[in-house]
Amino acid sequence: MSFGHGTGPPVVAAMKPIVLVVAGHVTRDAVPALCAELETLLSAPGTPPVPDGAPPAPPGPVECDVGGVDRPGLAVVEAVARLALITRRSGRQLVLRRVGPELQGLLDVVGLADVVGLGEPGEHGLHALP
């Protein structure tokens, strides 16, 4: 009997989250660059190919650290909405971590808090970014 040497189980690669850090003052002009950065992260090599006939592993979440955002406003809300769309199109879920009270309030007002995952302390290492 012989076994092919794989790169490891696809579940392991799928469980490793993609992390995008959003920091500083976010303007509407910065939103397309954030979206492009996320698309690059999503298309980066590292996810092993799925063998023919095997079911693909479920993709892991995309974690977005927004703890370093200064003066959150509607541009950040637009960025979160667009990042959530890109993430969903890839079959993943966007999870925000280190969400400050101002941004939390804005997300609640526009209804995005129900669309994206909001990390809780201790959940999947959220709020534990060095």
Query: Is residue 71 a part of any domain in this protein?
Result: yes
pLDDT confidence bin for 2, thresholds 50/70/90: very low
Residue 28 lies in a domain: yes
Q: Is residue 54 part of a domain?
A: no
How many domains are contained in the chain? 1
pLDDT of amino acid 58: 66
Domain ranges, residue 108: 18-42+60-130
Classify residue 80: in a domain, yes or no.
yes
**The predicted structure's pLDDT at residue 121:** 43
Question: What's this model's pTM, rounded to 2 decimal places?
Answer: 0.74
- The DSSP-derived string for 3-54 is ----SS-HHHHHHSPEEEEEEE---GGGHHHHHHHHHHHHH-S-SPPPPTTS
In the chain, what percentage of residues exceed pLDDT 70?
A: 69
Within a domain: residue 52? no
Under the banding of pLDDT at 50, 70 and 90, the label for residue 114 is confident
Q: Is residue 4 part of a domain?
A: no
In a domain, 27, yes or no: yes
Check which CATH number belongs to the domain holding 83 and give it. Answer: 3.30.750.24
Is the pLDDT score of 76 beyond 90?
yes
Specify the range with the lowest mean pLDDT, choosing from 62-76, 78-92, 112-126. Answer: 112-126
Question: pLDDT digits over 31-46, tens only?
Answer: 999 999 999 999 887 6
Q: 50 lies in a domain?
A: no
Q: Which of 7-11, 55-59, 70-74 bottoms out in mean pLDDT, i.e. has the lowest? A: 7-11
CA atoms within 13 A on the CB side of 2: 2
